[in-house]
Chain A
Amino acid sequence: MVTPHVAGQPVLELKGIGKEFGAIRALPGVDMRIFPGEVVGLMGDNGAGKSTLVKIIAGNFPPSHGEIRFDGKAVHFARPIDARAVGIEVVYQDLALADNLTAAANVFLGRELKRKFGPFAFLDHKAMAARALELFGELRSETRPHDLVKQMSGGQRQAVAIARTRLSNAKLVMMDEPTAAISVRQVEQVLSLIHRLKEQGVAVVLISHRMPDVFAVCDRVVVMRRGEKRADKAIGDTSPEEVTSLITGAKEAA
């Protein structure tokens, strides 16, 4: 079940995570383990419980029951900031970028570097631009820190959103449909960005509807259906056809 290069302690471990909204049971109880440097594809049809699961891990709302262990310790997130504090970053589908600001400003949004002058703290533009350029370099994205985000391509925007997660040296990055609305060439860029994260030992959860992307970049695929985990297989042990039948329910579990 676990790919050979990842062993030892999981970075994230879910034990019986469940969520009820009133009488509606969105998630009956999910167990999942994610290891450092592993890319896990999370697949499922709309309403399968992917978003609920991701939102629980990201701290948007607490689970009704179950336990989240991060880096071996049980954690409870009241707000998204709590999840970010331990090292979980989310790249949102709409990327959460402010178009009217530069790439560097977006990377550092909410975490600006400052220099003190007496009682006042001013932005350290130079340090932020330098660090942003460094991060874009690591991601091998041709993105200038001083360019406005509104003038950028979809791939560059993804790079900015991903660079933001590198700022805090996150251990787990969850990406929500990063390849849904961009061109073929940019999809390539985004997939290589995911490879960069993996190289640096970051665990990545890729939520996607696009089968080719999942098979191109993931080590393991988890299929959700009706709130339950129906499959959790290494990518080599499965096929797009099997995953499709698991998603649609033609095949109950694997």
Chain B
Amino acid sequence: MATPPESPIITFTNVGKAKWWQSGIFASQTGYVLLALVALFVVMNFASPYFFTEGNMQNVAKNFSFIAIATLGVTFVIITAGIDLSVGSMMCFSAMITSMVMTHISTPGTPGAEWFVHLAADSKTVIANVPGLILLVSLLAGLGVALMVGLVNGFCIAVLGLSPFVTTLGMLSIVRGLGYVVSNGRGSFPGGPDADYFYALTSGVVFGMPAPFIYLVVLAVAMAVVLHHTSFGRHVFALGGNEKAAALTGISVVRVKVEVYVICALAAGLQGIIISGWLGSAPANMATSYELNVIAAAVIGGANLAGGVGGPLGAIVGCVLLEVIRNGLVLAQVNSYWQQALVGVIIIVAVLVDRIRSRMA
């Protein structure tokens, strides 16, 4: 192509360059919520001598990891200007299916179980044919149902054009109902020869850190790379910024939407499985109304429900903030019923500060 000789050097005579504090993380809600979090840590350090103990820090890390992975997933959906209310039910259902499948295929005599287990010579002890296979199959079953729920959500929203709020509100009820149907309302427990592996993977401690925290860090880094360094991530942002533009530029809007709902459901499923490992069971009412905590954490961390803004750091910062406040109220011996009211105040203040900041800019 013929390039004019004077190009491409442009002089910026009347277009100023944005100052460093006006761009990137410093100009985002995530940035100052992170500042608020640091301030909170400092305050807590003086308020309670127990706050910065190793045991308490581990506790905090474990507790926020229990909603943070699902928050990463829902952040994807929120960036596309969608919402997923079915994450709480999804956590429960995946956890339930995982432990039911594990128990089922670990019980000699049930159909299909002969592929996985046999009885020892004393005809009492159950021995796995291949150690770890039961765990793998049950995890795949739990994540498989999450995949299917995500596909149904995505199909209804992207292909049929139903509103994300209504679709996932329905799915919240459907998935919770299915959980009651398959379990008959009873909780289920991970059992069989691979249960120890299961507990080690979900509630174990690796290098002095809770295992869920390590999964969280790995997934958050992966999410950051996907969002900012792949075309899928770019399309997720474009969809949230201007869906019509995304479609006009040839992005497959349907595909990207289905993918984010699948990612969200899988993250919720994984989160549920991890929680059930820590609880030691998957009760039928597990994670009820967790979707609200998850969405609140995402929004506090800077994901914009109008779409186009959000990221893994924000999701984690939101979760940590919620957990530190809960933890701090307990350490400060404040009536723990205040927690919920305070969380509500923080959601509104975080969004309000963002609004004031963008007015001033």
Chain A residues within 8 Å of B, Cβ to Cβ: 80-81, 84, 92, 94-101, 105, 109-112, 114, 120-123, 125, 133-138, 140-144, 147-148, 151, 156, 164, 169, 199-200
Contacts and interface: CB of A to CB of B under 8 A. Distances in A.
B245 A142 contact: no
Nearest to A135: B8
A136 B242 CA distance: 22
Contacts of A125: 229
Nearest to A123: B229
Contacts of A133: 8, 10
Contacts of B246: 98, 109-110
A98 B241 CA distance: 5
A81 B252 CA distance: 11
B355 interface: no
Nearest to B244: A96
B238 A98 contact: yes
19 contacts: A81-B250, A95-B245, A96-B242, A96-B248, A98-B237, A100-B237, A100-B241, A100-B308, A105-B238, A109-B234, A109-B235, A122-B230, A123-B228, A123-B231, A134-B3, A135-B8, A138-B3, A144-B17, A164-B249
A49 B229 CA distance: 43
A123 B242 CA distance: 20
Contacts of B13: 142
Given A111-B249, A137-B9, 8 more contacts: A80-B250, A81-B250, A98-B237, A101-B241, A105-B238, A140-B7, A140-B10, A156-B15
Contacts of A100: 237, 240-241, 308-309
Given A109-B251, A169-B1, A101 B231 contact: no
Interface string B2-22: 111001111111110110000
CB-CB nearest 7 A-B residue pairs: A137-B8, A98-B241, A100-B308, A137-B7, A96-B245, A110-B249, A100-B241
Contacts of B234: 101, 105, 109, 112, 123
A142 B14 contact: yes
A99 B308 contact: yes
Nearest to B247: A96
Contacts of A169: 1
Residue of B12, B238, B245 contacting most chain A CB atoms (<10 Å) = B245
B313 to A, nearest CB: 17
Contact of A112 (B18, B225, B231, B241): B231
Nearest to A149: B241
Nearest to A92: B248
A144 B12 contact: yes
A120 B324 CA distance: 37
Contacts of B242: 96-99
